[in-house]
Amino acid sequence: MSIKQYLHFVKIHTSVLSLFAYPLSFAIILLIQGKIDWQNSLIFFVASMIFDNMITGVNTTMDYIMAKDEDFKRRSVMTVEQISVKQAFTVIGVMVTIGTALGIWLVFRTNLMLLFLGGAIFLVFANYTSGPFPISRTPTGEFFSGTCQGLGIPFLFIFVNGNWDKLFALHIAGNWNFTISGNVLTFLTVVLACTPSWFLTSNVMLADNLSDRVADKANGRHTLPNVFGRKKASNLYRCLAYAGYAALVLGACLRLLPWLTLLTLLTIPIVHQKTEAFLAKPVKSETFVLALQNFQVVVGAEIVSLFLGYLLHF
């Protein structure tokens, strides 16, 4: 598989959203007065990007294999880029091997809890588009996608930087007694700060399913819009677009987040315009990008406001 084929196979443009997790995580680390371990940061970054590409590759491959619509198959990246199923699974296998090895290395460098937290996310990713009941083909796809990528990745990145005792650490003594330690306020700070990323990642998945609802129905995918209908799915899309703001307001009122975080609320008119424009015409080739832009605008503004709040102590 050539580099060009690989980049199309893993839809490298979709990895842009994953990159937002890292500046967001660094801003949160500063707020909680946490540690930064650059070696662990680099290892985690490489491992998570490999897994991100792997998930997209598996999704591309399984959609091609399980497609019932021949026109869908003809338009697939697998057909357009002339990638065989054997080539696809070979590349996926290499990515799984490298990513898993890096993950295990991080467990030895950090805390045993990473094995369970990272393992849970890996199991979700592994069953997201494969297995007997692929998550992406069910109404739960949005929830798991947002939770793992929008919340899980930033949480784990903060964790591996030496902050496990502030979040959720597992310690085993010589007599095999174990203790779990953490700080409720620090944990809540991380969750509230990651909520916009969490919900808007789910919204990107929901936008994808709203755009593909006809093709998904033809290919036997029981996605949320097909199970609950376009109207209810559209209302959920609106709720998720704005719910992240409520988390930031709550965090500021509880003095867990800087007051300057509320500058993120200035993006509401932009989000409203893009949300309604997408719902008026949910077409993948024309308006899906608006869901991505909502994520970039809100999370980008939050990152800037968090850094400003930390620097100005307000």
* Alpha carbon separation from 17 to 67, 95, 214, 226, 269 (Å, rounded): 27, 20, 26, 25, 21
Residues 27, 29, 33, 38, Cα dihedral to 10°: -110
For β-strands 178-181 and 169-172, DSSP reports them as antiparallel
33 CB contacts (<8 Å, ≥6 apart)?
none
Q: What is the pLDDT of residues 260-310, one digit of tens each?
A: 999 999 999 999 999 999 999 888 888 999 999 999 999 999 999 999 999
CATH code, 3-312? 1.10.600
Query: How high does pLDDT run on average in the chain?
Result: 89
Confidence of residue 115 (pLDDT cuts 50, 70, 90): very high
Query: Which residues on neighbouring strands pair with residue 171, listed in sequence order?
Result: 179
Query: Please, is 21 exposed, middle or buried when counting C-beta atoms within 10 Å of its C-beta (0-12, 13-18, 19+)?
Result: buried
Q: What is the pLDDT of residue 69?
A: 67
Share of the chain above pLDDT 70, in %: 97
| Mean of pLDDT values over 90-117 | 92
The ranges assigned to domains in the chain are 3-312
Instruction: Render the burial of 41-75: b for 16+ CB within 10 Å, e for the rest.
Output: bebbbebbbbbbbbbbbbbbbbbbeebeeeebeee
Rounded CA-CA distance 163/41 in Å is 12
Q: What is the pLDDT of residue 134?
A: 80
Q: What is the pLDDT of residues 153-170, one digit of tens each?
A: 999 999 999 899 999 999
Q: What is the pLDDT of residue 67?
A: 67
Share of the chain above pLDDT 90, in %: 55
**Per-residue pLDDT for 74 more than 80?**
no
| Mean of pLDDT values over 117-126 | 87
